[in-house]
Structure 1
Amino acid sequence: MDKGPNHAKGREIRQRLLGDRAVEQMAKTVYDDPIMEKFGDYAAEAVFGMLWGRPGLDLKTRALICVVSDTATHAWPELKIHLRMARNMGWTEEELSEALLHMGGYVGLPAVREALLVARDLFREMRAEA
């Protein structure tokens, strides 16, 4: 895929959101074949470069929107990624847990329970990395 004008911007934003270690790990385990490499390039260009790079909301707010969206749609692998981004953008474990609990009245407790389990495991993982 030809890399468009938003590709470099998107890679920079993604790096800032995830951190060097997570980006390197994903390169080895997710984007390590031609099919997924194409997906990664597309995501860098369209999602991170064009959506995350838009004016109007800061990265911290955008990360929380993704956490809420993932929980509502039961996108558990993506939730783990977006919770990491949210923590890296300054949301605390307590704030994210409270945001997830708040959703119980809107998307249902089973979804919130699963989201909290994902959060618990990711927060442990991130504490161990520190």
Structure 2
Amino acid sequence: MDRIEAGRQVLRELMGEAFLEARDATRNDFNAAVQDYADDVCFGTVWSRPGIDRKTRSILNIAMLTALGRPNQLRSHIEGAINNGCTKDELREILLHTAVYAGLPAAVDAFRVAEEILRKKEML
């Protein structure tokens, strides 16, 4: 299996088939390069490495995306974190912890995103 297909498999397991299908439906000659890059490097290479488990990778992503103020990517990765076994309580603690290091405004925005996802998944 090549790295792009390996990355697509990780995405399928992390975000679900519906996410991958919706993403594929938006693919065009302009964005194909960045989608392939994400599949190859992000998911096919880094997410596929041994060393830390997927739940830990999800926790790291949530903290980093909160700190960077990236709510669209945060939304997807919170769903992925839940799929990787993160509980509502763990998500709250991750976001509260980021408030100390990334600032309260970033954490408040991230809490809003997380609440949206938790409601959607009927976990709140």
Instruction: Identify whether the pair has TM-score above 0.5, normalized to the shorter chain.
Output: yes
3-state secondary structure, aligned to 1:127: coil
Distance 1:64 1:111, change over 3 A: same
Correspondence list, 1:3-14, <5 A: 5-14=2-11
**In the alignment, structure 1 residue 75 sits paired with structure 2 residue 65:** no
The CA deviation at 1:127 is 2.9
- Identity over aligned pairs, percent: 33
Corresponding residue of 1:60: 55
Q: Which runs of 5+ in 1 are unaligned?
A: none
Q: How far off is 1:27 after superposition?
A: 2.5
Q: Aligned residue pairs: how many?
A: 123
Matches within 5 A, 1:1-130: 5-28=2-25, 31-127=26-122
Residue segments in structure 2 that go unaligned for 5+ positions in a row? none
Q: Which runs of 4+ in 1 moved over 4 A?
A: none
> Residue type matched to 1:105 in 2?
V
The structural deviation recorded for 1:63 is 0.9
TM-score by length of 2: 0.91
Deviates further, 66-75 or 97-106: 97-106
